[in-house]
Amino acid sequence: MFIVVQGIRGSRPRLDSPVSRPHDHADDCGDTAVLSAIDDAPTPAADRARRQGDAEGSLEAAHARPVVWVVIPVRDRPSDLRDLLNDLRRLDAPARLRGVVVDNASETPIDPERFDFPSWLETLRLESNRGGSGGFNAGLMRALRDRDDPPTHLWLLDSDARVRPDTLGALLRALEKSPDAVAVGPAIEDPSTIHEPTPAARARRVHELGGRVRRGNGQLVPALAGDAAARASDPIACDYLAACCALVRSNAARETGLLPDLFLNADDVAWFVRLARETGGRILADPRARAAHPRFDRYPTWARYYQARNACAPLSALGLGAWVRFRRGLLETRRMVSQAVLGREDLARLHLLGLDDALAGRTRGAAPEGRLAFEPWRPYSALPEALRGAGVTPTPALLREAERCAAMSRDHAPAGWLGAIGRLCAPRREAAACVPSVGGTACWFRGRVTVQCDPGGFVLRRVTRRGAVRSASRYAWAGLARSVRLAWRPPVAPPPTPLPVRTDAGPATISVVVLSYNRREALERTLTNLSRTARLAGAQVIVVDNASTDGSVELVESRFPEAELVRLSDNAGVEGFNAGADRATGDLLLILDDDAWPEGESLDRAAGLLASRPELAAVTLHPRHPTTDASEWPFAGEATDAWPVMGCGNLVRRDDWRRAGGYAGGFFLYRNDTDLAMKLLALGRGVRFEPGLVVRHDSPQAVTKTPLWFFHATRNWVWLARRHGRGWRRWAGALAGWVWAHRLARLDWRGHATVFRGGLTGCLVRPPMMPRGVRPDGGAFRRLLRMQFSTRARGR
């Protein structure tokens, strides 16, 4: 098969829009267990037929309607689940519904018959509690792995959410009217008003209409709330949606992957930020769609740990810097100080432990057992006896005050630093004071005995002013130290959770892309070796010829007619690889120079790694000489999943190649492969390197440098630094590589002149633009610098 492409130098056929393209600790085998449960879940033909029969009209008309998969994680909330299921039965939705209730290891397993599930709803039980993120991810995997009836939309619902009959219809209409939107959420209001048909704006208590991340300190706040949200009439753009009720386009979820494994808190924020970043779409909140959920700012106890631990996940997704991380740490410091003043050191300690684990990189999954210890709420029936035990008479007025404080929301929480300072200095205090659990400076130093009141109960504390100041000072210093560390060295961002690879879909197919330019003999040797590789039997082989004049085209046509030939009218450099990859149909791309070929066993192992480890985007093969077995990489050491270098032979998932934009065409030659590796790492994907996975490379460029190398390798090194470096390392690394190229030029004054011209060009000319969604954090470039300049590297 021959494909002739004319005049594509400097351009690429445009990829389809990601939006329309179909396609803030669990143990490592957790996803495997979930996949096993999904694969083993029965889907009888009768059930499938019944689900299809529920749709009105003909089969063709039914399939023209959206297919909405409802995903509901639940753990030990049977009454909430029943209420939500009743709401779903009353839905008036212009869509075919399917869905899954993910039982997050409830003590009493969820029984579909006992709950009278609708016919379109199934259940999936997890063997351990994997939190909100784990529950949603299990449901999303179940939905997105359905190839017979794939979803067009995914509807995320918390089990304690409530919806109206018209909620889903309003969300679908919002997405239909905004093709550039990838997700939409409703106005989240108090459950007491959700089923009022048309409440007055003042009667609706809207907690949140979309959410945003404050760019100054990283705090998560509603985009609109209260009266402003209740009066809104048109959709608004926002940073994120609460996962308690959100409708997402399925193709956007496929492209982005699953929620980060944060267990609880900020997982939905980081996911929606990535959803918008990687697809280029918008996140909308539509006030015409209504749903209900308990307030998000209910007084947290053990959740404080996750609030602090996961605080930097949205900041990392947004690419916010050191000053914002520092201020976000100060926000947690303020919270722990407030709890320390009230005598709740058990809760202040949770903030501190969360920051410690974030700094140590322990951000995945649930907290270690025993780490979330705190004093539980006591029932109000025990309040009179507790007051008497503290030497306070439980007067009716004091008990009424406790009841009033328990009903306070954060909107009513008083504040006042001057009053707190005055009470600290006052000679006398009340014997006892009831304060709302939502806190605030107006609660400080009110009584010798403080009763902290919450709808769930009370906690009584006897706190002296001296003891409160001492405790608050200790936590203030501890929080300040951790805030500085957050700014100085950002926590390791939790990696995006990729969609798992189906194990029942057979081995992944490979498309080989070989780029050729005036090296006929080398090309013949490479294609001959590929034809003898068992793993590539019947594989698509694409040869892209960069306007060769030495008979390379005729060689392919006569000797290897089974290869697909792409003939370029000009030498487009590494842009030719992109032209070949755009025509590939395989799941994996084997990217090869025309003088390189993989060892058969190495290719088998590399493909096996990608099949078994969905978090990996690519496997870099180790270039060695075919005769001497000499390595081109003196820095090649231990195996790693964060390898920032690629070379003459790489096995890359086709979808990841497209997301990363392939090779940057403006590079023309050299460093383009390393740039790709670091782009994949910036996307949160893994790049695997094992020294034993070998590609044979017979290239004189690995030893002798030419003027072409001196210019392009130097210029592109500076571009690498500008694209991937951060802070002082950006220009320090650029200068180090520039100087190293001069060292390689040795006594060749023409080589030095060419190196100087390349370095100067790299500084003065803007490097190629990054693909949408690629935001390097500088980590891959730091690793590259350590590898290159801590060894006796030559030529890379």
Pull the structure tokens for residue 445.
Answer: 């130093």
Collapse the DSSP code of 305 into the 3-class scheme (helix H, G, I; strand E, B; otherwise coil) and give the result: helix
Rg of the chain over all Cα atoms, to the nearest angstrom: 30
Is pLDDT at 296 greater than 90 in this prediction?
no
Q: Tens digits of per-residue pLDDT, 539-584? A: 999 999 999 999 999 999 999 999 999 999 999 999 999 999 999 9
Q: Distance between CA atoms of 71 and 62, rounded to whole angstroms?
A: 21
Write down the pLDDT at residue 504: 54
Structural domains of the chain, with CATH: 30-298 (3.90.550.60), 308-488 (no CATH), 510-789 (3.90.550.10)
In angstroms, the CA 312 to CA 335 distance is 16
Percent of the chain with pLDDT over 90: 62
Residue 702 has pLDDT above 80, yes or no: no
704-726 core/surface letters (b: 16 or more CB in 10 A; e: else): ebebebbbbbbbbbbbbbbbbbb
Q: Quick check: 144 and 174 in contact, CB under 8 A? A: no
pLDDT recorded at residue 520 = 93
Beta carbons within 8 Å of 68's beta carbon, 6+ residues apart: 93, 95, 96, 97, 98, 151, 152, 153, 154, 155, 168, 172, 247
**What is the per-residue pLDDT for 794?**
43
Structure tokens at 692: 């034993």
Tell me the two tokens of residue 272: 């929606």
Reduce the secondary structure of 340-377 to three states and give it as a string. HHCCCHHHHHHHHHHHHHHHCCCCCCCCCCCCCCCCCC
Residue 626, burial from CB neighbour count under 10 angstroms (0-12, 13-18, 19+): middle
The full DSSP string for 188-251 is EE-GGGTT-SS--GGG--EEEEEEEE-TTT--EEEEE-HHHHHH--S-EEESB--TTEEEEEHH
Q: Is 50 exceeded by the pLDDT of residue 432?
A: yes
DSSP assignment string, 506-554: -SPPEEEEEEESS-HHHHHHHHHHHHT-GGGTT-EEEEEE-S--SSHHH
- How confident is the model at residue 278, as a pLDDT? 84
Most confidently modeled range among 205-209, 307-311, 431-435, 700-704:
307-311
- Of 483 and 93, the one with more pLDDT: 483
Question: H or E segment at 610?
Answer: helix 600-612
Closest CA to 305 of 340, 355, 233, 341: 355
Q: pLDDT at position 50, please?
A: 40
Distance, in Å, from the CA atom of 339 to the CA atom of 302, rounded to the nearest integer, reads: 13
Whether the pLDDT of residue 59 is over 90: the answer is no
Return the closest-CA partner of residue 328 out of 164, 445, 215, 177. 215
Residue 411 has pLDDT above 70, yes or no: no
pLDDT score at 346 = 94
Strands 564-567 and 540-545: parallel
Angle, to 10 degrees, between the axis of helix 465-488 and the axis of helix 322-341?
Answer: 160
- Summarised one tens digit per residue, pLDDT across range 226-249 is 889 888 999 999 999 999 999 999
What's the rounded Cα separation, in Å, for the pair 566 and 579? 8
Task: Enter the pTM of the model.
Answer: 0.75
In terms of C-beta distances under 8 Å and separation of at least 24 residues, what long-range contacts does 74-77 make, across chains too?
74/101, 74/102, 74/103, 74/104, 74/106, 74/110, 74/135, 74/159, 75/103, 75/104, 75/105, 75/106, 75/129, 75/135, 75/159, 76/106, 76/107, 76/108, 77/159, 77/160
5 pLDDT more than 70 = no
Q: Looking at residue 505, what is its pLDDT?
A: 56
Binning pLDDT at 50, 70 and 90, where does residue 48 land? Answer: very low
- The reported pLDDT for the residue numbered 27 is 36
Strand, helix or coil at 673?
helix
- How many angstroms from the chain centroid is the CA of residue 474? 35
Q: How many CB atoms lie under 10 A from the CB of residue 525? A: 18
pLDDT at residue 145 in the model: 86
Query: pLDDT-based confidence at 8, cuts 50/70/90?
Result: very low
What is the rounded CA–CA span in Å between residue 127 and residue 143? 19
Reported as a pLDDT band with limits 50, 70 and 90, residue 109 is: very high
673-698 residue pLDDT tens: 999 999 999 988 899 999 999 999 98
Q: Are 308 and 355 in contact (CB under 8 A)?
A: yes
Q: How far is CA 133 from the centre of its chain?
A: 11
**pLDDT tens for each residue of 621-669:** 999 999 999 898 888 888 999 999 999 999 999 999 998 999 998 998 8
Q: Which residue has the higher pLDDT, 508 or 327?
A: 327
pLDDT, mean of residues 114-129: 94
- Band of residue 409 on the pLDDT scale cut at 50, 70, 90: low
What pLDDT, in 10s, does the model give residues 347-366? 999 999 999 999 998 898 89
Q: Which of 153-167, 193-207, 736-750, 771-785 is most confident?
A: 153-167
Cα distance between residue 755 and residue 744, in whole Å:
10
| pLDDT band, very low/low/confident/very high, at 503 (cuts 50, 70, 90) | low
Other C-beta atoms lying within 10 Å of the C-beta of residue 338: 20
Under 8 Å between Cβ of 613 and 686 = yes
Q: How far apart are CA 713 and CA 737, in angstroms?
A: 9
Query: Of 50-59, 120-129, 731-740, which gets the smallest average pLDDT?
Result: 50-59
pLDDT value of residue 3: 37
Q: Are 408 and 427 in contact (CB under 8 A)?
A: no
- Please state which of the ranges 322-326, 481-485, 537-541, 770-774 shows the lowest mean pLDDT: 770-774
Question: Tell me, what DSSP letter sits at residue 14?
Answer: P
Q: Please, are residues 384 and 392 in contact by the beta-carbon 8 Å criterion?
A: no
**Residue 407, pLDDT above cutoff 90:** no
pLDDT in tens, 63-86: 468 999 999 999 998 999 999 999
Q: Average pLDDT, whole number, for the chain?
A: 85
If we measure between CA atoms, which residue out of 208, 281, 284, 227 comes closest to residue 251?
281
State the pLDDT at residue 298: 67
Does the pLDDT value for residue 751 go beyond 90? no
What are the angstrom distances between the C-alpha of 184 and each of 633, 673, 688? 48, 38, 36
CA separation, residue 166 to residues 103, 163, 197, 714 (Å): 26, 8, 11, 60
- According to DSSP, residue 408 is labeled -
Indicate the length of the chain as a whole number: 796
Angle between helix axes 749-764 and 728-745 (nearest 10 degrees) is 160
Joined tokens for residue 559: 């000797």
Distance CA 229, CA 588 (A): 47
Q: Which of 556, 513, 555, 510 is nearest to 2 (CA)?
A: 556
